[in-house]
Amino acid sequence: MLADNLDIGVQLSGRSQEPDQIIIHTPDLCQDCGALLSNSLPTASTRQQVFDISDGRVKVTEHRVEAKLCAKCGTRTKAAFPASVRAPVQVSPEQKVWTEPLAKLLLQIKRRVAATRQQQEAELTQRAIHCSIR
Ligand SMILES: [Zn+2]
């Protein structure tokens, strides 16, 4: 059963093992003291993928966000994902234009099927009670 707040069509089930493009976001300056981090090696990396199907084939762009330790003050600074990249796996904002209405329609159909099934079960139960009373 789908939850009412489930953003279906926007969240996908899994990551691609072979993204078409990898974009690395790295912090330039320490968030605490402002020192340059260009000589620091990344300590961690988080990734999120965007799926796009606009040209007829699936194109996967992986965004990797790095964290670095400041050599001067020891503060850990993490770069940010672009504002449009908000989930571990998602479709591109352009795709949402047509996937969201479809996802809402699918949700409505599933709710209607569930309601009809519930009504049929209630009617069958009523008939069974009616037959056993006779
Ligand atoms: Zn620092």
Tens digit of each residue's pLDDT (9 = 90 or more) over 1-11: 333 333 434 44
Mean pLDDT over 58-86 rounds to 93
Tens digit of each residue's pLDDT (9 = 90 or more) over 20-57: 999 999 999 999 999 999 999 999 889 999 888 777 78
pLDDT band, very low/low/confident/very high, at 13 (cuts 50, 70, 90):
low
Tens digit of each residue's pLDDT (9 = 90 or more) over 81-93: 999 888 888 878 7
Pick the closest to residue 67 from 27, 99, 17, 101 (CA basis). 27
3-class SS at 87?
A: coil
3-class SS at 68?
A: strand
Strand runs labelled E in the chain? 21-25, 42-52, 59-69, 76-78, 89-91
Distance 88 CA to ligand 1 centre (A): 29
Task: Give the per-residue pLDDT at 106.
Answer: 80
Q: Which two tokens stand for residue 116?
A: 């009809």
Greater pLDDT, 124 or 130:
124
Distances from the Cα of 78 to the Cα of 44, 73, 110, angstroms:
9, 15, 41
Distance 35 CA to ligand 1 centre (A): 5
So where are the chain's domains?
A: 21-133
Distance 71 CA to ligand 1 centre (A): 7
Q: Which two tokens stand for residue 106?
A: 């699918």
